[in-house]
Amino acid sequence: MAAPRDNVTLLFKLYCLAVMTLMAAAYTIALRYTRTSDKELYFSTTAVCITEVIKLLLSVGILAKETGSLGRFKASLRENVLGSPKELLKLSVPSLVYAVQNNMAFLALSNLDAAVYQVTYQLKIPCTALCTVLMLNRTLSKLQWVSVFMLCAGVTLVQWKPAQATKVVVEQNPLLGFGAIAIAVLCSGFAGVYFEKVLKSSDTSLWVRNIQMYLSGIIVTLVGVYLSDGAEIKEKGFFYGYTYYVWFVILLASVGGLYTSVVVKYTDNIMKGFSAAAAIVLSTIASVMLFGLQITLTFALGTLLVCVSIYLYGLPRQDTTSIQQGETASKERVIGV
């Protein structure tokens, strides 16, 4: 029988999963609307950069409220941010790795068929689980491993789009594509679990860790802005194509990013992956009503696999080790008598 504290923990995890799923789905729908309705498309690289800035400002505001006074707030920033270059360097690792991941994913998409890319890129889900086991010394039951791979298959089917014949011949290098997708998958698993390990390996405030990471994130995204769209931004302006809807998407991304760090802090990256998969399903269903998207058999089957995998992963596991230890202790007491 589960203890009351275990029940509360499970309910909290389910709450985190539900909220993050809804936020991610809302963000996906809003993003799709801005990319299909706005005549003058904005620069996505600038939007990512502004998102990092807003997350930094929100984290600073929450830290100020958490510390309770201006003096303690300044002391916390001085000790953990300005006076800790080593910690700043440590939290720059996820930002750099995510930047490599995004570039490798783009390179892979340019050198692989879309269908092959969709299937292979979902290997980031079991890769995250593997990194969790290796880097955090956790164990997953056989049923949980099955649910992880089932989720991988479900997401692949949900996002499946049949290849369409085209007269345009694109020169591709499959070997380069598979190498790039392998690096992207490894980066995805490593960066997420690395951030989780940093968060849970010390008593440093979550918001201090966010500030440390977002500072480096701003630098990395600014470099991306310059390298990707520097010439066009210089001609058209940093905020070219921005509308109220674009700002709404940026706000959703910012709040969702902060909430993701909360989910990682109090649950784990595997739960985050299940939440992201559920968000894909919800946003696609919403797109049927909003954008006239057609539901396919592969989507229905993928949705079923995602739902079953979430259920299987969430099933409670019996802690046989503690039971055996209890039985051993009772036997020793009997022998002693």
pTM: 0.76
- The DSSP 8-state label assigned to residue 123 in this structure reads T
Distance CA 211, CA 60 (A): 7
Q: What is the pLDDT of residues 178-230, one digit of tens each?
A: 898 899 999 989 998 999 998 888 888 889 999 998 998 899 889 988 888 88
Share of the chain above pLDDT 70, in %: 76
Can you give the residue ranges of every domain in the chain? 10-316
Query: Alpha-carbon distance 73 to 91, whole Å?
Result: 20
Mean pLDDT across the chain, nearest whole number?
78
The one-letter amino acid at 27: Y
- DSSP class of residue 80? I
Q: What is the signed CA dihedral for 266, 270, 275, 281, rounded to 10 degrees? A: 180
Q: What is the pLDDT of residues 15-46, one digit of tens each?
A: 666 676 666 667 666 666 665 554 457 788 88
Using the predicted structure, report yes or no on whether residue 260 has a pLDDT greater than 60.
Answer: yes
Report which listed range, 114-118, 132-136, 172-176, is most confident: 132-136
Q: Please name which of 91, 71, 92 lies closest in space to residue 205, comparing C-alpha atoms.
A: 91
- Please name the residues in contact with 218: beta carbons below 8 A apart, sequence gap of 6 or more: 49, 52, 53, 56
DSSP state letter for 112:
S
Taking residue 273's Cβ as centre, other Cβ atoms within 10 Å add up to: 26
First to last CA, the chain: 29
Cα 96 to Cα 16, 26, 319: the distances in Å are: 27, 27, 38
Is the pLDDT reported for residue 150 higher than 80?
yes
Of the two residues 316 and 83, the one the predictor is more confident about is 83
Largest CA distance in the chain: 88
Length of the chain: 337
What is the rounded CA–CA span in Å between residue 9 and residue 106? Answer: 39
